[in-house]
Amino acid sequence: MNSPYLLAQGTSPTHAPLRTRPNAPRLKLSDPAHRAMTDFLYDPPLTLPEHFAVDDALDHMFRLGLRAFLVVRDRRVVGLMTTSDATRSAHRNLTVAQVMTPTDDVPAIGWDTLSEARVGDLVEIFDGSGEHHLVVLQNHSATLSSVRGLIHRERLELQLRSPWSLRIRPSRHA
């Protein structure tokens, strides 16, 4: 993901308001891949500013039941912070910017590619990469993209309710 990206149109940065997420629908490997995505056009992302304290971010994650936050600077996405990033760095008086994965290093897939893919393709991507999150980018021009959504490996496993979720796999970003 080339940095930085805008938030998807219609979204606004939020700083951990309480909300409930609907139960994720059950998926099959043959279903369209976009059904596994949290679409930020319909479910705006929760974001954190890069100067936010990691301990506070971790508290928000647990309180809200989230696995990741987009990190923003002036409505531009500059990184992704996962629970694994936060847990490894807790109680060290660090900021989100110091522990996040910068946008250049966050695995991403284009909206056009995702809209043509099946859930089984996502399983292959996650198995092949060992990643736990996949950012979905939507191109608006040759130089402008926005973060359209996020796919979580663990949520996908729950939606599939399949033996795939029981396999041992490499762990890079739990």
- Domains in the chain, CATH or no CATH each: 5-164 (3.10.580.10)
Beta strands in the chain (DSSP E): 5-7, 38-39, 47-49, 68-73, 76-82, 101-102, 108-110, 133-139, 145-152
Residues in the chain: 174
Please give the pLDDT value at position 19. 40
Q: Is the pLDDT of residue 170 over 50?
A: no
Q: Is the pLDDT of residue 7 over 60?
A: no
Q: Confidence class of residue 171 from pLDDT cuts 50, 70 and 90? A: very low
pTM of the model as a whole: 0.78
Q: Confidence class of residue 92 from pLDDT cuts 50, 70 and 90? A: confident
Q: Tokens 């043959």 label which residue?
A: 30
Q: Is the pLDDT of residue 37 over 90?
A: yes
* pLDDT, mean of residues 141-170: 77
Quote the CA–CA distance of 81 and 173 in Å, as a whole number.
10
Q: Confidence class of residue 67 from pLDDT cuts 50, 70 and 90? A: confident
